[in-house]
Amino acid sequence: MKQMKYTFIYKAKGHNPEKHHIEFESESFKTMVFGVDSFETALAIAEKSVENGVELIELCGGFNRDYADELYNHFGGKVKVGVVDYFPDLNTEK
């Protein structure tokens, strides 16, 4: 069975992926969670993740749909990208 690889990126002031990260792994699934403080850092993490075989990237609600679109387009649609959304609209970026 192929292992599904997934990256979740959350945004929080002062967080960096070298210090703020965790991994969960089973035979069928690997989840990597990274904390970042900017979209530029999120993009760098996404690039490294895709190089390592990640098939799905999800952005936390600290980002918005525009950032998810930018990330999706960056990879030419070859990677699935999602974004967490809150109702009512509580996203921190507009």
The string of pLDDT tens digits covering residues 28-55 is 999 999 999 999 999 999 999 999 999 9
Tens digits of residue pLDDT in 18-31: 999 999 999 999 99
Rounded to two decimals, the pTM is 0.88
Q: What is the DSSP letter of 52?
A: T
C-alpha distances (whole Å) from 50 to each of 40, 62, 74 are: 15, 21, 11
Say what the pLDDT of residue 44 is: 98
What tokens were used for 21?
């990260």
> Domain 4-83: what homologous superfamily?
Response regulator (3.40.50.2300)
